[in-house]
Chain A
Amino acid sequence: MTRLPRWADLVLVPLISLLLAGVISALVILAIGQSPWEALRTMVVGALGSPYAWGYTLYYATSFMFTGLAVTVAFHASLFNIGGEGQATLGGLGVALVCLSFPWPHWTLALPAAMVGAALFGAAWAAIPAWLQARRGSHIVITTIMFNYIAAALIIYLLVSVLKPAGQMDPATARFPEGAHLPQLNEIPLVNLIFDKQVPANVTLFIALIACWLVWVLLWRTRLGYEIRAFGRSEPAALYAGISPFRVTMLAMLISGALAGLMSINNVMGESERLLQNSTEGAGFIGIAVALMGRNHPFGVFLAALLFGFLFQGGAELGLWTTIPIELRTVVQGLVILFTGALDYMVRMMLVPFFRARKLEAA
């Protein structure tokens, strides 16, 4: 098999995967008797057509950056963390507890505290599957799936029986105090020149960008990152180099869980300002697609998160203004994961003849 040049592997393969996913989605839209072109137009207008639309796209992208980074960090340690959903859910619990436990005077105080809460709870939820993997060899994919369900059940129980204020009917916590309100993009000086209407995207966006950069530093500039990557490529070799599998597994998963948990700063504290059931809206799973699409590199994750923010917001707009069900975005998301994560070999095979031909020409 001819090898592809690195740039093809990094850029062309994801793009072609995306294209394939797009083509199949278009076929699905045609099959249900709708116009793909119209769908695309609605999505583009609704997700990118105005600052207001961008406010939503960026809001979702912020969440996806966190969950995408979470999957990325674990992936480099060769741990497939499907538990982002549960970890983000628990992160939301952490945020809620922090925000509700104290009458916060100002968001600058509330935010760091809530971040600690989110990260701790997210990490804690990742800790058990991590420990089971490191010490008992239980497959992390299965345990994290199980923990997603357990998290959902736990949150339902807590919301209904513990956290729901008396007299309220829907299962949700009380509203967070005013002082815990995070500035939205339309409330930040200068930025509000662009975003003149209330949008959900908020300061968490900047934290997400910093997180992307920090994860890059972690993975490629620190000893821990080096150890994570080495361990992920070869466990026996890591052992030879004196890298403790237990330590790396635990740390990678704790960081991964903390990142997933941090997502809840965006949706729980920044947007709904109370903890709701299913507050994550599947962002934990979308993180898988984002990481795969972004080739497990923070910059790629950033780009892929924007893409999925667009898909998510655009999909919502489809549900709003057309008769194409909102579920279309689930289909696209699934197809992207399928092509980038499971059929990547097929995509490569499709490219190989082209590069072989070029090689021959050059020779």
Chain B
Amino acid sequence: DPAIIYDLGGKFDKSFNEAAYNGAERWKAETGGTYKELEMQSEAQREQALRRLAESGANPVVMTGFAFGDVLNKVAPDYPDTKFAIIDMVVDQPNVKSIVFTEEQGSYLVGVLAAKASKTGTVGFVGGMDIPLIRKFACGYAQGVKAVNPDAKIIVNMTGSTPAAWNDPVKGAEIAKAQKAQGADVIYAAAGGTGIGVLQAAADEGILSIGVDSNQNYLHPGKVLTSMLKRVDNAVYEAFKAGENIEPGIEVMDLAKGGVDYALDENNAALITDEMKAAVEEAKAKIISGEIKVHDYMADETCPALTF
């Protein structure tokens, strides 16, 4: 059986891990198969969890989150017959598949929408843990915003510097309120469970928010502008489907492959005008065609549109 390990936020974080859960469930519904799953409770458990799953014969073992990288590097060689897949991190082992996303492209798209929807010309970004990966989101977002409104002000806040930052809705809400006070009227939350607080506060305060990873539009219908979809669900689904024959190596899930996107559904249909839609679809096409190159923060740890 395949197995999946969720990171600290837990599988019901309505965001990153939940997307992975949805992928696994979709596989289950379609194939009728069973899978093992595990939620991390603490940093120190990662190794035991990996080993126990590998021991139990699970194959492949999929894990969500960069934090497994180091441990996987250590564990993978001990189980050469087991295939592993890790999302958001590159682990160079013969039996590991690394799946990464071009979050900067998806973030660019929602940045375009944010700039179009903002009346104040100030937009916000709330990140989770302050790591290059999250800066990559922020940087792509900023590029999208600036593409529409070069004078826009972008307020960036990170929730914290530890994994606890993925799961701190109180702090998310307080940061969102602070950003609103500074003039932001659209806030993009790339912060896992913390984002729930951001979306809630934005809805309470009557401003717009942008969800992340899963489609979060439904959380506050008419108040969430859109969501940056990161198809972790697809990644997990594909990995489960490939089963033991999963191909090791690096897979980049980009916009062209449908790895990232923005969400449009009945919950936000009223918020996205035709003009906005046209703009974002144009940007999308240009990115896919390569006409627009969205800078990847992690390539050189710099951002043309933002200073951290």
Contacts and interface: CB of A to CB of B under 8 A. Distances in A.
Contact of B67 (A161, A169, A197, A267): A169
Interface residues of B, number: 27
B80 to A, nearest CB: 13
Interface string B31-42: 000001011011
Interface stretch (A237-245, A268-276, A349-357): A268-276
B52 A160 contact: no
B218 interface: no
Contacts of B48: 56, 200, 316
A169 B132 contact: yes
B78 interface: yes
B266 to A, nearest CB: 33
B161 A171 contact: yes
B289 interface: no
B163 interface: yes
A171 B163 CA distance: 8
B133 A160 contact: no
Contacts of A348: none
Given A170-B70, A316-B48, A278 B161 contact: no
B160 to A, nearest CB: 9
B161 A156 contact: yes
B143 to A, nearest CB: 22
A174 B69 CA distance: 13
B47 A271 contact: yes
Contacts of A271: 44, 47
Contacts of B55: 52, 197
B296 to A, nearest CB: 15
B282 interface: no
Contacts of A267: 44
Interface string A173-204: 00100000000000000000000011010000
A277 B43 contact: yes
B171 interface: no
A160 B132 contact: no
B177 interface: no
Nearest to A50: B55
Nearest to A169: B131
A319 interface: yes
A161 B162 CA distance: 11
A35 interface: no
Contacts of B162: 156, 159-160, 171, 277
A214 interface: no
Interface string B115-157: 0000000000000000111000000000000000000000000
B220 interface: no
A48 interface: no
A141 to B, nearest CB: 25
Nearest to B52: A320
Given A172-B70, A320-B52, A272 B133 contact: no
A279 interface: yes
Contact of A326 (B41, B47, B70, B133): B41
B28 interface: no
A38 interface: no
Contact of A198 (B44, B51, B66, B67): B51
27 contacts: A52-B55, A56-B48, A156-B162, A160-B162, A168-B70, A169-B66, A169-B132, A169-B133, A170-B131, A171-B163, A175-B70, A197-B55, A198-B51, A271-B44, A273-B74, A274-B70, A277-B43, A277-B163, A278-B42, A278-B43, A278-B44, A316-B45, A316-B52, A319-B38, A320-B53, A321-B36, A326-B41
Interface of A: 52, 56, 156, 159-161, 168-172, 175, 197-198, 200, 267, 271-274, 276-281, 316, 319-321, 326
Q: What are the nearest 5 A-B pairs in CB distance? A: A169-B131, A160-B161, A276-B43, A170-B67, A281-B44
Interface of B: 36, 38-39, 41-45, 47-49, 51-53, 55, 66-67, 69-70, 74, 78, 131-133, 161-163
